[in-house]
Structure 1
Amino acid sequence: MAAPAPLSTKSSVSPFARISPDPRRHKRVVLTPLGRFMRATKQEYPCRLIDISAGGAAISSPVDVELGEHVIALFDQFGGLEGQVTRIFDGGFAYRFSMTDHRREKLVATIMFLMNKHELPGIEGRRHDRIVPHNNVQTLNIGDGPSITCKIIDVSLSGANIETGARPALHTSVTLGQLRARVMRHHDTGIAIEFLDVQQAASLKR
């Protein structure tokens, strides 16, 4: 009778299991529109996008932030992008997005659109992106509350600035006319909202 084969002393764990994945698994694209960002203190500052991917972005900032701090950056091209600061460098910071898979898919589509369009962001680009609709008086529903009348200051494919005395909490669900949205920031005359679905340009001019 043959002797039993000796037990192998090699680990059964694949060597690839010990290799840490590259945290920057999303390709970064250089796009440089101007925007604003809000810190955890609720203070807002101007900023400029340096590069962006489906997972995060690098931003130039006039102020220092803290590692792990929660921030929300707003750009006309992308709407509100929130997340946590993961890296600080001279003149800015990088942060990782916190968003649903559906929101991330929309972001990727927008990045690809801007890449293919070879858009040159800036002040002139913003003038084309934001418009004042012909009918700028609209109804606003906040959560399950009653409708209130508001004035649309300007609107883009991704969101709108609204003049209103109401100041619902950030991320509150609202409906502007028939458009579902959420509150992204407060400003002197009202609120800025982000649409849950990207709109068609023709419908915004009505």
Structure 2
Amino acid sequence: MLSALQIPRTAAVPAERRRHHRMKVVLLGRYMLPNRMEYPCQTIDISPGGVHLAAPAKAAPGERVIVYLEHLGRIEGLCVRTTLEGFAMTITATSRKREKFTAQLTWLANHEELGLPEDRRHERIAPRNPRSILFMEDGSEHVVRVIDISLSGAAITTDVDLPIGAAVRIGSTPARIVRPFDGGFGLEFRFPLSADLLDENLEL
């Protein structure tokens, strides 16, 4: 699949896609097309310059696509062609962000090859201000304490008995309750946070 983003020799090949080695890293995510419809997706292969997505709704060549991928956060770019599985797109990023993106991809590729445990994929940090508000679908609000945050979720403590699977909002971040633990609950964000935003000063 490493050649999945290549296009026929008769077509113009953007220089960006020639400069980067594509890695077989499988990441789940969601994407939004210009009509603002959202769909689930999965990476087939990815590089700092482009990504090939398995996707139920195909973007048209030239259309702008916004993608949220687990571990990597938000990326955006232009569809370059459709494929049997979905479509391939460029990734638009500054030089600094691309360098960080490259390091993340290399780590993820090595991680998969080594078979490290899933729960070690995300760095967890303790926020400087742990107090946050949990908003429920029924309109109720609960003050909670955030124990730690990762790119894909958070752990909170609360005295409230929360329903597993419920859609919630922690501050301004959409999430769902995925598991209980002694004294609290684990939340999974609807879209992974950008690595650029993950620091101890983050307010959800």
Fold conserved between structures, TM > 0.5: yes
1:189-204 equivalence runs, <5 A? 193-196=193-196, 199=199
1:125 corresponds in structure 2 to 118
Q: Cα RMSD over matched residues?
A: 4.2
Q: Distance in 1 between matches of 2:27 and 2:14?
A: 30
Asked whether 1:82 is paired with 2:76, we answer yes
Q: Distance in 1 between matches of 2:173 and 2:27?
A: 29
Asked whether 1:163 is paired with 2:157, we answer no
Q: Secondary structure at the match of 1:42?
A: coil
Distance change (3 Å), C-alpha of 1:166 and 1:49: closer
Q: Deviation at 1:21?
A: 7.7
1:39 corresponds in structure 2 to 33
Residue among 104, 107, 110 paired with 1:113: 107
Q: Which runs of 5+ in 2 are unaligned?
A: 1-12, 134-142, 155-167, 175-189
Q: Distance in 2 between matches of 1:120 and 1:38?
A: 32
1:1-206 equivalence runs, <5 A? 23-118=17-112, 125=118, 129=122, 137-138=131-132, 155-157=149-151, 162-164=169-171, 193-196=193-196, 199=199
Q: Distance in 2 between matches of 1:85 and 1:91?
A: 14
Q: Deviation at 1:120?
A: 8.2
C-alpha contact 2:74 2:192 (8 A) present in aligned 1: no
C-alpha contact 2:78 2:90 (8 A) present in aligned 1: yes
Distance change (3 Å), C-alpha of 1:77 and 1:65: same
Q: Secondary structure at the match of 2:18?
A: coil
Distance change (3 Å), C-alpha of 1:21 and 1:77: closer
1:7 corresponds in structure 2 to none
Distance change (3 Å), C-alpha of 1:103 and 1:162: farther
Q: Deviation at 1:54?
A: 1.3
Q: Which runs of 5+ in 1 are unaligned?
A: 1-19, 140-148, 168-186
C-alpha contact 1:79 1:194 (8 A) present in aligned 2: yes
C-alpha contact 2:40 2:55 (8 A) present in aligned 1: yes
Distance change (3 Å), C-alpha of 1:39 and 1:118: same
TM-score between both structures, scaled by the size of structure 2:
0.56
Q: Deviation at 1:53?
A: 0.7
Q: Distance in 2 between matches of 1:24 and 1:44?
A: 29
Equivalent residue pairs, number: 151
Q: Distance in 2 between matches of 1:97 and 1:156?
A: 23
More relative contact order, 1 or 2 (CA 8 Å, 6+ apart): 2
Q: Distance in 2 between matches of 1:125 and 1:83?
A: 28
Q: Secondary structure at the match of 1:196?
A: helix
